[in-house]
Chain A
Amino acid sequence: MLWSDRFFDTMRELEGMSRALRRFDVPSTVEFPATNVWMSDDDAVVTTEIPGIDPDALEISVVKDSLTLRCSRQAEEMKEGETYHRRERWNGQFTKTLRLPFAVESGKVEARFSKGVLAIILPRAEAEKPRKISVKSE
């Protein structure tokens, strides 16, 4: 049964691949603001483009493995006799929650806001870090 063996091998390989992909899947709840996520063994870096917001009014909260961003941006104040020719920029309030594949050491989270780009560094909780197990030979 050479053929069927090979078939099941391929199936197993495919399944392994999709499982590997799912492991790093970072589901997010809403489309805005768009975020990029990078990961290493020690931490995750989340970046998002939110130009023109007041960094002091930005709320970042971390609970276990989820990160929530909350912020708002006001539209330009309009006086009488002023009109919009074009209005493409977003404004209003947004909330976005990201779920990371590991629990975060919430006390060590760092956030930087520069040139309208927010970068958050989320270290992996110590207990969740991958551990190397040495094998003793008898």
Chain B
Amino acid sequence: MPETAGDMQKKEAETPETGERTRACRIYSPQVDIIERQEEIVVIADMPGVDEKSIDITLEKNVLTIYGRVDFEAPKDHRPVLSEYGIGDYQRVFTLSDEVDRDKIQASVKNGVLKLVMPKAESAKTRKIPIKAEGIGGMMNLKLSNA
């Protein structure tokens, strides 16, 4: 979680590896939460100014790219007097591991927040090996020998 107000500020994205863009605007790196659940991995990204029409999610090999286009118009006949945040597009790139079932990825946008639900692949779910705990007797032996 961000600790200071500075951590909550928008951060400009590093130059994308794909090269320069033709659209001349700033690109910001959206802040994300990534949560691992039993069955899925959830990515939540703050992308204010973006809706379902202006968001582009691509998965190429194992590289997931989130791109959000922001169309902004300054109020007419107004002059800016305070500017604490910048406005621009969003981009963030993640490398996925094999455990995601690529065909079942779901994305939704609400109030400028993108939610990506990536179900884990069957193989990843079954790969877990249950570990049994030893009997209490063994534990007691350990305690005694320590003392």
Question: Residues of A at under 8 Å CB distance from B?
Answer: 24-26, 28, 30-40, 44-45, 49-53, 55, 75-76, 78-79, 81-91, 113, 115-117
Contact = CB atoms under 8 A, between A and B. Distances in A.
Contact of B81 (A38, A53, A81, A115): A38
B46 A89 contact: yes
A52 B112 contact: yes
Contacts, number: 131
B33 A86 contact: yes
Interface stretch (B1-9, B56-64, B98-106, B139-147): B1-9
Nearest to A40: B78
A50 to B, nearest CB: 7
A84 B112 contact: no
Q: Is chain A's interface secondary structure helix, strand, loop, or mixed overall?
A: loop
B54 to A, nearest CB: 9
A85 B41 CA distance: 9
Contact of A88 (B2, B6, B38): B2
Contacts of B33: 76, 84, 86-89
Interface of B: 1-2, 5-10, 31-38, 41-42, 44, 46-51, 74-75, 77-85, 87, 110-113
B76 to A, nearest CB: 9
B48 A50 contact: yes
Contact of A49 (B49, B75, B110): B49
Given A84-B33, A89-B33, A35 B113 contact: no
A40 B79 CA distance: 6
Contacts of A24: 81
Most chain B beta carbons < 10 A, residue from A38, A55, A78: A38
Contacts of B111: 51-53, 55, 113, 115-116
B34 A82 contact: no
B94 to A, nearest CB: 10
B35 A83 contact: yes
Given A35-B84, A90-B8, A51 B44 contact: no
A119 B43 CA distance: 27
List of 9 A-B pairs having minimum Cβ-Cβ separation, nearest first: A116-B112, A51-B112, A116-B48, A31-B5, A38-B78, A34-B85, A49-B48, A34-B84, A37-B82
19 contacts: A24-B81, A35-B82, A37-B83, A38-B74, A49-B48, A76-B33, A79-B37, A81-B38, A84-B34, A89-B1, A89-B33, A90-B31, A115-B50, A116-B46, A116-B49, A116-B112, A116-B113, A117-B49, A117-B112
